[in-house]
Structure 1
Amino acid sequence: MDLVLDFLLLSASGAACLYCWVLNRRLKGLTSAKGGLGAGVAQLSQSAEEMKAALAATRSAADEAAARIESLLADADRKASALEELLDRLEKTGASVAEKAEDATQKYVDVIAPFLAEANAAADRLFAAIERSPAAEPDTPKNASTIPTEPVQNKEEDYVAIDAAPTKRAARPREARKEAAA
């Protein structure tokens, strides 16, 4: 029985040695720098360094962009206030111009109104004189050779020249002219 026990003890220690040897090989493979846990740790360490460098570059770029944006915002605020001042001045100038234009228009209307009234009065006198003239009566022409038998169209008197372009004058009765003058 001793021999069996010795043999079992020897086989158990051999199995333990074999197990230790396999375990040793696995641990060496795991800790090797080429393909094990050491390589993973080294790669992870390198990635961490790259991330730190990228983070520092991003942080500096963000700081530069923030500084540039702040300067642009300050410039925009200055320009916005200047633009508001210009708009206020433009509004005041526009109101002033409109007021001056209204004053000038009123002045010209005031200056021209007596002349228009005078011209209407002269036109009324002229039409009254034409109506009273013997040539205006168709029954008693003084000289039949001077009165045209057919209506003459496009006579010089039928046109009023404005800017050297003739336009047809609209016939207005005396009452319409009086209402226009009033």
Structure 2
Amino acid sequence: MELIADVLMVAGSFGAAFYCHILSLRLKRFTTLETGMGGAIAVLSAQVDDMTRALDKAQGAANGSASSLEALTLRGEAVAKRLELLVASLHDLPDPDRAPAASPRPDPVEHSMVEADRRLRFVRRRGQRETLEAAE
């Protein structure tokens, strides 16, 4: 009886050894970096890193655009207030339909002095900014 138990025990241990050998071969093929899952995991990891960098770059561009837009909005509001003030001051001007009373002609000498006192006025405008950057 002991002999039969020993034979069954040896057969079971050989079967377990064969099964472990097959599993180790499959695991080696599974984890190889060139063709197996290890390669796929390495590729996916590289893609995640690239996407993280692209996302950070896009967030930086969006933050820059948001701050630029906020500054332009504030500037537009200030210009709108000035325009409202100018339109309100137009109500104080006399109507152009009513002709003013005949005024005496100005003296040509005084008129030339008034023209000489006037100075030319130059208006400088900023060019459009080309600082926006597209996300990849």
SS of aligned partner of 2:52? helix
Residue 85 of structure 1 is matched in structure 2 by 85
Identity, % of aligned positions: 32
Q: Which runs of 4 or more aligned residues in structure 1 lie more than 3 Å from their structure 2 counterparts after TM superposition?
A: none
1:103-152 per-position Cα deviation (integer Å, ceiling 9, x unaligned):
97xxxxxxxxxxxxxxxxxxxxxxxxxxxxxxxxxxxxxxxxxxxxxxxx
1:101 and 2:98 correspond:
yes
TM-score w.r.t. length of structure 2: 0.62
Whichever structure has more helix as a proportion of its residues is 1
Q: Which amino acid aligns with 1:101?
A: R
Q: Which amino acid aligns with 1:66?
A: A
Whichever structure has more strand as a proportion of its residues is 1
Residue 76 of structure 1 is matched in structure 2 by 76
1:29 and 2:26 correspond:
no
Cα RMSD of the aligned pairs, angstroms, is 2.4
Q: Which amino acid aligns with 2:49?
A: E
Provide the C-alpha distance between the structure 2 equivalents of 1:25 and 1:57, rounded to a whole number of angstroms.
44
Q: Say which one has the larger Rg.
A: 1
Q: CA deviation at 1:17?
A: 0.9
Provide the C-alpha distance between the structure 1 equivalents of 2:9 and 2:100, rounded to a whole number of angstroms.
129
TM-score w.r.t. length of structure 1: 0.48
- Structure 2: give runs of 5+ residues left out of the alignment: 102-136
Q: Which has the higher contact order (CA 8 A, sep 6+)?
A: 2
Residue 5 of structure 1 is matched in structure 2 by 5
Provide the C-alpha distance between the structure 1 equivalents of 2:53 and 2:100, rounded to a whole number of angstroms.
74
- Structure 1: give runs of 5+ residues left out of the alignment: 105-182
